[in-house]
Structure 1
């Protein structure tokens, strides 16, 4: 199963040299990105940043009045830290109005406006700055986008050619050089456009991406022979948009059999509905148009998306990635890829309301993408927006009833909501669809169904699923941990179970949940002294977890460290254990009043079961493995 790419023309691991927006500083990373990788590349996207407030309608409402510069500036900075782009835009605009000479404030206002989706307002502000001779590089980029959207090609060409102290010649500048070449085509100067593209393509490090754009331009002009040669030379056929372009070009050359062969040999095509539809049209001998780009604006949008992908996938995702994606969507509003990338970048910053608006636009285009929807469902679930995640998962299973990943996603949503009985039928459906699939496609649904069955009280079936998953992935730490502790909790297979948990710790030595499992397993076996070290290691990584603090208190009590036990129990209470759902605060208070031994005696010696940490979703598991 493939994962959603930030942009279908670039692999997800595109490095980038950050700094100026100028294309010269970005070109190396972009070119490396364009030179390789499978058509269906996996997406080791970073997990969303923790603990940011989700944007709501309240964020768009006017905040309290703030006099002077300091108030709006501080409010804008706080909103920026939380990626609350609407609030940041409002306050940075206020701050910039107080000090129009401050370039930082102007740029911050432009960035916040564009990030929040107010691109037209940002572009108008950028135009004023440039007319007042107070322009910045970001203002220049916005002004270029404004002229592209207006199709004012002559003004755009003049703006780019009069760049003053630009540090690169136009034929060496990937961004400005490519925009200018497309603008020349838009202005009706096809010969000059081709000459501009070819001058850039003469530079070896620029040739791959420039030849791709020249191929698109040649195809627009009807020169499909040259377009086919150029697109093959560009190596863009290794990526979704380039591959789509080549298939469409081959169709115009009456080489439909060759085009169909390319699609038939493509692994994972069932997860890309636009490619499936293209293949079906070819098989049925229906007309296939060349529509990857409809004009220069679309070509420039492709370029902006390439920059956005490279910026998003560096060691630290760049805020400018979202700006480039927003600009691409603004100048090419019919391009679903631009909206998908904007949605995913917003989602990564936990701005779900803004992201949902982009996803809605994509769906209205009739372009529901399974991989994007899976990423969206996973993010909504992790943001505790379970009702929205459930609706999205049900919509995906309805649209793609034979897509196993959709059923796994629905099962994951149900499991995370602790609706374990409701999760089981979805996992059943997924596994029936995966009956003949390789083991790597089956292990997670088996694991997840095993968890749902175990939590539903059907341990015999759960054990069978967990063992089957373990046979496929014998060194999967979470799986070893879950089955091992389940056995210990049931007082079964104790020696093997403890060895499994020890092996899980070896495989994931920094995982606090697994360390907690090992310590708690020792506790359940009465080996209290052995439990101390792993539980202290667990608390070092999970100091704010009430369950782990409670466990450490119990272990300290059993080894005669009663004063330290009381400290840990009080700390567990201070962490609001009611919210966790895993710790009973009244039981902790009872231990503080009477001691652990008295509490256990009343409970007939039964220690509350330890809810081992289960994987959240298949999407999250895949991302974690890709990042390792």
Structure 2
């Protein structure tokens, strides 16, 4: 996968002149009313919509522009990309054919044309189109896999294997093995498929797609005990996925669970799924959406791909568009609950937290054991400062998962936060310690517990050691570095406090709490002018008013004129008090 990412980075410019060419400066932020603007106006509006990933608007604007500028290569290219990202693949293929007149070497256009041929079962045509791709870049790698699926569709699986053997010599064999397993399964080579799937599974035994594929193949051959072992290993980590649960139910009842991919189109869609996820992890949301949309086109029944496209749009802040996708997930789909939860989360992002909480309560009323719904509801209640109910819902989640798996640390930690915010420190401390038993080096837990101890003036040396471990695990987290600086401050180690708090401010230069802490530390080391400067920044960027109130007397008369707050003064260390309480 590292080799794959390196190839992606070297070819991304060839793939996506997607959002990189945004509208000229004078058009930034403008919204053109869609009333048949001029070709130039439609193009500029489309560029801005594209840059914002308002994919449906971008497609509409570029459609208007290209109808009157069919001979303009740039307009045709943008319309092609907009159609593809919006999931209008057949329209994108039409534009791609025109684009090849202007840009014969445009490999992404050929990939889209070949995908249309795959959907229509014109496998020879798809293979011929893909044979013209170059080598070594990311589109070419994807095209190689798609061509192998086309050959499999033609009944030429042996040639598909030869093709992938050659491509794998470039260091991509580990990436190909999973897809080779799926091709072998569709081609009826079940023994070879199972051997390949076993190799892929051992490389990634906790990835839901891998677990589902391998356990299905085992179950389909009647090897139920082995399938149960694979599924039990996944469950033992506290992991769950609706599609894995379906296999668990079948295998548990001694039923063959059915194929992971039922045909060539679904197999090729899974390939686009893998590539799209890899692109998303690399931060390329626009290209990721395009590849995921190609997968949706090949396998319209894949609700998982729909959810992934929605997730990419959520990242871009396009929650309304994402919600329309989530609402399209059928009520009978195993992914319906996940889609409904995403809708609720987006309602909160759009400012309707009460509506989001009500929607989640409805889900839980129908499905009391829905762990995702319980988790998201508890999170929203905690953010909404409804700490009692949040703690109650986290407790239900802990009861649901057992609370003993390494992945369960999150529930103990978040319930601990709810208790701490609700002034139930004894309960909170117990939960934080339990979270660290499950995940001893989790930086957020180390930081929260260590900072809480420092703020209370207890367990100072263990607290400092915890925060230092948190910084080592997350060296670019400004909040954790702030905790370390504040721990030094509370211990009276002011020079060291300044060093760490300056680091924190460099990472988060406009955080009022961090600026306030640095101001206090500066004052203690005699840098009074700089202290006042930091307090001024803290006051100006504070949107809630708490920090403004705190720094007002400091700005008027210095740190000594400010009222003493609990957790803000240096502590005289008594060695006896350093025992862990």
Kindly state the Cα deviation for residue 405 of structure 1 after the two structures are TM-superposed: 6.1
The answer to whether 1:549 aligns with 2:515 is yes
Q: Retained in 2: the 8 A contact 1:470–1:476? A: yes
Q: CA deviation at 1:335?
A: 1.8
- Offset at residue 523 of structure 1 (A): 5.0
Cα deviation 1:286-321 (Å, max 9, x = unaligned): 5x47454444432332333233344444x4536433
Decide which of 386, 393, 409 is 1:419's aligned counterpart: 386
Query: What is the deviation of 1:456?
Result: 0.6
Please say if residues 21 and 137 of structure 1, whose CA atoms lie closer than 8 Å, have aligned partners that are also in contact. no
Q: Does 1:114 align with 2:84?
A: yes
Measure, in 1, the Cα distance between the counterparts of 2:568 and 2:450: 13
In structure 1, the partner of 2:193 is: 230
| TM-score normalised by length of structure 1 | 0.70
Q: Which runs of 5+ in 2 are unaligned?
A: 16-28, 202-206, 570-581
SS of aligned partner of 2:546: coil
Alpha-carbon distance in 2 for matches of 1:405, 1:481:
26
Q: CA separation of 1:532/1:259 partners in 2, compared to 1, >3 Å: closer, same or farther? A: closer
Q: Residues of 1 paired with 2:345 and 2:215: CA distance? A: 32
Aligned position for 1:215: 184
> Cα distance 1:594–1:73, how it changes in 2: closer, same or farther (>3 A)?
farther
**Secondary structure of residue in 1 paired with 2:385:** coil
The answer (yes or no) to whether the contact 1:245–1:290 under 8 Å persists in 2 is: no
Deviation at 1:333, TM superposition (A): 0.9
Mark the CA change 1:451 to 1:110 in structure 2 (over 3 Å): closer, same or farther.
same
Q: CA deviation at 1:123?
A: 3.3
C-alpha separation in 2, matches of 1:346 and 1:473? 32
In the alignment, which residue of structure 2 is the partner of 1:36? none
Structure 1 residue 174: Cα displacement: 1.9
Q: Offset at 1:542?
A: 1.6
User: 1:515-594, aligned counterparts within 5 Å?
Assistant: 515-521=481-487, 523=489, 531-575=497-541, 577-578=542-543, 581=544, 583-589=546-552, 591-593=554-556
Give the CA deviation at 1:455: 1.2
d(CA) in 2 for partners of 1:99, 1:294? 42
| 1:367 counterpart = 2:334 | yes
Would the aligned equivalents of 2:183 and 2:267 in 1 still touch at CA under 8 Å? no
Matched residue, 1:459:
425
* Aligned with 1:606 (options 562, 565, 574): 565
1:430 aligns with one of 397, 418, 421: 397
Q: Does the CA contact (< 8 Å) of 1:107 and 1:136 recur in 2?
A: no
Taking the TM superposition and a 5 Å limit, the aligned residue runs for 1:275-354 are: 275-284=244-253, 288=256, 290-313=258-281, 315-317=282-284, 319-354=286-321
Displacement of 1:329 in angstroms is: 0.8
Question: 1:248 offset after TM fit, Å?
Answer: 5.3
User: Structure 1 465/234 Cα, relative in aligned 2: closer, same or farther at 3 Å?
Assistant: closer
**Is this contact kept in 2: 1:171–1:200, CA < 8 A?**
no
Q: What residue number does 1:511 align with?
A: 477
Q: 1:125 aligns with which of 63, 85, 95?
A: 95
In the TM superposition, residue 275 of structure 1 has moved relative to its aligned partner by 3.3
- Residues matched between the structures, number: 539
The residue that corresponds to 2:576 in the other structure is: none
* 8 Å contact from structure 1 (residues 59, 86) kept in 2: no
**1:153-172 residue pairs with structure 2 within 5 A?**
153=122, 157-158=124-125, 160-161=127-128, 166-167=133-134
Look up the match of 2:574: none
Aligned-partner Cα distance in 2 for 1:388–1:16: 44
- The 1-side partners of 2:555 and 2:35 are apart by 46
Q: Distance in 1 between matches of 2:446 and 2:79?
A: 50
Residues 397-431 of structure 1, C-alpha deviations (whole Å, 9 max, x = no match):
55664465654443333222332222111222233
Unpaired stretches in structure 1, ≥5 consecutive residues: 1-10, 27-57, 185-189, 220-225, 611-628
1:18 and 2:8 aligned: yes
Supply the distance in 1 between the matched residues of 2:73 and 2:114 (Cα, whole angstroms).
19
Q: How far apart, CA to CA, are the structure 2 residues paired with 1:303 and 1:428?
A: 39
Take 2:251 and 2:495, find their aligned partners in 1: how far apart are those partners? 69
* Higher RCO structure (Cα 8 Å, ≥6 apart): 1
Deviation at 1:521, TM superposition (A): 4.4
Instruction: Give the 3-state SS of the residue equivalent to 2:234 in structure 1.
Output: coil
Q: Say if 2:200 and 2:210, in contact at 8 Å, map to a contact too.
A: yes
* Cα RMSD after superposing both structures: 4.6
Query: Is the Cα–Cα contact under 8 Å of residues 172 and 203 in structure 1 kept in the other structure?
Result: no
1:272 matched to which residue of 2?
A: 241
How far is 1:585 from its partner?
A: 3.0
Alpha-carbon offset, residue 367 of structure 1: 1.9
String of CA shifts for 1:540-586, please: whole Å, max 9, x gaps. Answer: 222111222233334444555443333223323332x12xx363435
497-506 or 422-431: bigger deviation: 497-506
For residues 475-499 of structure 1, the C-alpha deviation after alignment (integer angstroms, 9 at most, x for no partner) is: 4443343333323433444555455
Could you tell me how far apart the structure 2 residues matched to 1:531 and 1:252 are? 61
Which residue number in structure 2 is paired with residue 3 of structure 1? none
Q: With structure 2 as the length reference, what TM-score do the two structures score? A: 0.75
Give the 3 Å change call, closer, same or farther, for CA 587–341 of structure 1 in structure 2: closer
Q: Distance in 2 between matches of 1:162 and 1:461?
A: 64
Cα distance between partner residues in 2 of 1:332 and 1:365: 17
Q: String of CA shifts for 1:211-259, please: whole Å, max 9, x gaps.
A: 434423334xxxxxx3333342454762755665665566666x36457
- Of 138, 142, 151, the residue aligned with 1:181 is 151
Secondary structure of 2:193's partner? helix
Q: In 2, distance between residues paired with 1:479 and 1:427?
A: 16
